[in-house]
Amino acid sequence: MSNLIPPHGGKGLVCALLEGAQLEAEKKKAAGLKKITISGRENGDLIMMGIGGFSPLKGFMGKADWKSVCENYLLADGTFWPIPATLSATKEDAAAIKIGEEIALVNKDGVTMATMKVEEKYEMTDADKRWECEKCYLGEGDDSVGGNFWKKAMEDHPGVQMVMAQKDINLAGPVKVLSEGDFRERFPGVYMSPAESRKIFEDKGWKTIAALQLRNPMHRSHEHLAKIAVDVCDGVFIHSLVGSLKPGDIPAEVRIECIDALIEGYFVKDNIVQGGYPLDMRYAGPREALLHATFRQNYGVSRMIIGRDHAGVGDFYGLFEAQTIFDKIPQPKEDGKRLLCTPLKIDWTFYCYKCDGMASLRTCPHTDADRVKLSGTKLRKALSEGTEVVDHFGREEVLVILRKYYAGLTDKVEIKTHGKS
């Protein structure tokens, strides 16, 4: 018996990735099927279904699941799930597909990633997409309230832009996944499946594991969050997104090099595991924090570190809205249907000159003038513009790596800062 938290959904790890003879037979069959091109987000979702990261999902959501997830945070069968996982197609492509027919799902590079048995087709009007955005992406920040959301979202919210750019018909049904893409080759020893992370944790004898979500280079605040978690859990899983980000964000290869430098110099290595997962960011703030906890449970994680503005973008979300949402979600009676990975809520952290170290609003009695406020956005902006990075913002070993990356860029993206950055 494992001491680890069970996978979400009560059915163990639900993995749609084929292997061996089954894989070869399905690849041959896929060559003769109608093809649908999928987006980067859909590609990442598929891989997570393949490796068990999205357990208990077996495929893309039908209308009942989509509606219930948006409205109630639950699949139609009552299992907690925080954000839709849907697949869209053009009206023309959808019209050519019969219910019950199998199709091939092909990514932007022409790689056949999966086959899917189409069990349902349903229209997504602009009104439906707007409703999904208002349910899943509307927050409590300045860019969301007072009628600002739709004034700002189509220009400044990449998650909303992705939903509104989806095609007109959603296709739903179970999938058979044929590939993990190139993640294993690009990120050897870092990219891993839930089964692999669980084995690592079990071999270490860990029971309580906290996950640190990263999409930015690891600065002093991230380091402090991880060290708080090391003190209260058996170990910490530094788990980076290695899928696609928005323009101006720093690529995974560089972020992983930064994490390696920090683990080498500033952590007890036995207490840290670095991993990577294949999703694209949705930038859904509180809803995405819930998704992060849900799939981390599948990876064997019992606590999800939630700090300030988790998975946020712009000023669409309140600073700690991603923490308070955990107190509002439904709690199904069955353990298997309930989210069991709990939040490790940590206040805004910063370096304080008077405290002479890292601190938080709960521990530091001093003023803003004494504090170095840390954010990934501010760090990227300073590095991109070649301006000086404030002392105590990041470790010098990390800044050397980041300066080298920015020095090699020919095309630079303007980094916008916001009121809470």
Q: What's the pLDDT tens digit per position in 124-146?
A: 999 999 999 999 999 999 999 99
Choice among 43, 107, 170, 216 that is catalytic: 216
CATH architecture label of 20-181? Roll (3.10)
Label residue 87 exposed, middle or buried (CB < 10 Å: 0-12, 13-18, 19+): buried
Residues in the chain where the model's pLDDT stays below 70:
374-376, 412-421
Pairing relationship of beta strands 34-37 and 102-106 according to DSSP bridges = parallel
> CATH 3.40.50.620: which residues of the chain?
184-281+347-407
Distance CA(146)–CA(164), nearest Å, equals 21
Kindly give the pairing relationship between strand 87-89 and strand 272-277: unpaired
Residue 282 is predicted with a pLDDT of 93
Cis peptide leading into residue 251 (ω within 30°): no
Query: Catalytic residue at 215?
Result: yes
**CATH T-level topology, domain 184-281+347-407:** Rossmann fold (3.40.50)
Using DSSP, state whether 258 is helix, strand or coil. Answer: helix
C-alpha count within 13 angstroms, C-beta hemisphere, residue 338: 11
d(CA 68, CA 49): 20
Where do the CATH 3.10.400.10 domains begin and end in the chain? 20-181
Q: Of the residues 215, 255, 296, 380, which is catalytic?
A: 215
Residue 19 sits at φ, ψ, to 5 deg, of: -140, 165
pLDDT on residue 182: 94
Query: By the 8 A CB rule, do 181 and 113 touch?
Result: yes
**Three-state secondary structure call for residue 112:** strand
pLDDT value for 154: 96
| The pLDDT value given to residue 285 | 95
pLDDT of residue 204: 97
